[in-house]
Structure 1
Amino acid sequence: METILSISNLNKRFGPLHAVKNVSLEIKKGNVYGLLGPNGSGKSTTLGIILNVVNKTSGDYAWFGGKLETHEALKKVGAIIERPNFYPYMTAEENLRLVCKIKGTPYSKVTEKLELVGLYDRRNSKFRTFSLGMKQRLAIASALLNDPEILILDEPTNGLDPQGIHQIRDIIKQIAAQGTTILLASHLLDEVEKVCSHVMVLRKGEVLYSGAVDGMSSKQGFFELQSDDLQRLVTVLQQHRSVEKTQLENGKVLVYLKAPLEAHELNRWLFEQQIVLSHLNFRRNSLEEQFLEITKTLA
């Protein structure tokens, strides 16, 4: 799979503040990557460096396998790293046509991108009449006018109401489905879980985890079980070689694993121990639970 961006041991210092600490990341074509971390974790600084608006202290990064100089490579990148900034007295269409003129992009792209972000019906409305969510969608349309190979978004739903957040997330999914690679910085666990395939967790400039979203935890998830005799169920479960620990919660036994175990295997084994289950459900840890586990383990 083609590599869009490679980051290797990237560092940035602002005086005594070490804002980015040895960050490495490889972004493959067609995936949606999340930079996850609280404010001050180094997300925006990292994006600023790769977009050539912040000077690195040390380390390297290369666009498209290093085949292009940074200024040439950035012509194939769409990015929104600040609040949308358009002429307030111009319409949505007029603003995008101006961007086309600056980028040397055909005007025909304006209609296509307005339809993509759901603003075609408001193409003749002035920018100053737009809500914050509409302004953000127009900014996404603008960033997509040159059909970039990768779209970079810094906190795209920040400050939006629930409806605006939902609209932006749907647009991101639609863009990704069309094959555009996306790099998304966010402090919202829920956002990354809903739209990203891969995630890098940053805290105080340091990488705590980098990989697939559903691989953030080494745990295999856990089972929820119920039977007529919960105490006997717990006693028997503790004898299984794949069970790490059990926990009683709200009338259910939660079973945490230290080795992979299929639901049908567990059910059959318990039946052989003369325990009949009235409830069996496998739950994978939420991203929030995994995130808390990672930050606790690697603190």
Structure 2
Amino acid sequence: METILSIRNLNKRYGRVHAVNDLSLDIQKGNVYGILGPNGSGKSTTLGIVLNVVNRSSGDYAWFDGKLPTHEALKKVGAIIERPNFYPYMSAQQNLELVCKIKGIGYHKVQEKLELVGLWERKDSKFRTFSLGMKQRLAIASALLNDPEILILDEPTNGLDPQGIRQIREIIQLIASQGTTILLASHLLDEVEKVCSHVLVLQYGKVLYSGTVAGMGSQQSYWELRSASLEALQTALAQYPDLSSITLEQDTVVVQAKSGLDAGLLNKFLSERGIYVHHLMERKRSLEQQFLTLTETKS
């Protein structure tokens, strides 16, 4: 699989603040990556470095397997790392045509991108009349004018209402379905979980997790059990090997195994001791639960 961006041992210091701390990451073509972390975790600094607007302290990065110098590679990148900035007295179409003129792109792309972000019917409306969500969608259209191989978005839904967040999410999913690689920085767990295939969790500039979203959720699955006697169930489970925790949550016993848990063997073990469960189900921890576990452990 083609590597769009490779980051190795990247560091950025601002005096005593280690904003990016030995970060390594590979962005593979066709995936949607989320950089997840609270404000101040190093997300925006990382994006600024790879977009050549922030100087790194040490480490390295390479676009497109290092086949192109950075200034040439960035011509194949679309990015929004600041608030949308267009001429307020010009229409949506006029603003995008100006971007086309600056970048040497044909005007025919304007209609295509405005339709993609759902703004073609407002093409003649002045930018100053747009809501924040519409301004953000216009910025996405602008970033897509050159048909980039990768789209980089820094907090694309920041400040938007629920409807605006949903619209941006749907646009990102549509762009990804068309084969564009996406790198998205966000502090919103729900946004990353619903949009991204891969996630990098940062805290204080350090990588706490790097991998698939599904893989992060499956790192710590747990089992729910219910039976007629919860006390007897807990007593029996205490004798079962490889359980790392047994807790009672209302009318449910929740267990976590040190390694994989075989439901059939567990059920057999309990029935041999006269305990019959009427509920036995594996659950996956949500991205939020995993994120909180990671950050609480490392803080």
- Write the letter of the residue equivalent to 1:157: T
Q: State the secondary structure of the residue aligned to 1:274.
A: coil
Q: CA deviation at 1:156?
A: 0.4
Deviates more, 1:251-260 or 1:218-227: 218-227
Residue 97 of structure 1 corresponds to 97
Q: Structure 1 pair 269/93, CA: closer, same or farther in 2 (3 Å)?
A: farther
Matches within 5 A, 1:1-299: 1-216=1-216, 219-299=219-299
Letter in 2 for 1:257: A
- In structure 2, the CA distance between the partners of 1:168 and 1:268, relative to structure 1 (3 Å rule), is farther
SS of residue matched to 1:40: coil
Give the secondary-structure state (helix, strand or coil) at the position aligned to 1:5.
Answer: strand
Q: Deviation at 1:83?
A: 0.3
2: CA distance, partners of 1:218 / 1:197: 14
* Contact in 2 for aligned 1:220/1:260 (Cα 8 Å): no
Alignment CA distance shift 1:265-1:101 (3 Å) = farther
- 1:110-152: per-residue Cα shift (whole Å, max 9, x none)? 1221121111221121111110001001101110111111000
Give me the whole-angstrom Cα distance separating, in 2, the residues matched to 1:217 and 1:226: 23
Asked if the contact 1:217–1:293 (Cα under 8 Å) also holds between the matched residues in 2, the reply is no
CA contact (8 A) 1:4 1:28 kept: yes
- What CA distance in whole angstroms lies between the structure 1 residues aligned with 2:283 and 2:51? 39
Q: Percent identity?
A: 71
For residue 85 of structure 2, what is the amino acid of its counterpart?
A: N
2:277 and 2:294 map into 1 onto residues whose CA distance is: 32
Decide whether aligned partners of structure 1 residues 59 and 120 sit closer, same or farther in structure 2, where only a CA change above 3 A counts: same
Give the distance between the partners of 2:88 and 2:264, measured in 1 at CA: 61
- How far the C-alpha of 1:206 sits from its partner, in A, is 1.6
Q: TM-score scaled by structure 1?
A: 0.94
CA RMSD across the alignment: 1.7
Q: Give ranges in structure 2 of 5+ residues lacking alignment.
A: none
Q: Distance in 2 between matches of 1:145 and 1:68?
A: 21
* Residues 218 and 284 in structure 2, CA contact (< 8 A), matched pair in contact too: no
User: In structure 2, do the counterparts of structure 1 residues 50 and 84 end up closer, same or farther at CA, with 3 Å as the change threshold?
Assistant: same
Report the count of equivalent residues. 299
Q: CA deviation at 1:262?
A: 4.4
Cα distance between partner residues in 2 of 1:107 and 1:268: 69
SS at match of 2:157: coil
Deviations 1:90-125 (A, max 9, x none): 111111121122222222221221121111221121
Q: CA deviation at 1:215?
A: 2.5
Retained in 1: the 8 A contact 2:35–2:200?
yes
Distance 1:101 1:273, change over 3 A: farther
Instruction: Give the C-alpha shift of residue 264 in structure 1.
Output: 4.7
Residue 297 to residue 173, structure 1, CA distance change in 2 (3 Å): same
Shifted more, 128-137 versus 222-231: the winner is 222-231
Instruction: Kindly provide the amino acid, as one letter, of the partner of residue 103 in structure 2.
Output: K
Contact preservation (8 Å) 2:217, 2:286? no
Instruction: Name stretches of at least 5 consecutive residues in structure 1 with no aligned partner.
Output: none
State how far apart, in whole Å, the 2-side matches of 1:110 and 1:84 are: 17
User: Shift of residue 296 of structure 1?
Assistant: 3.0
SS of 2:224's partner is strand
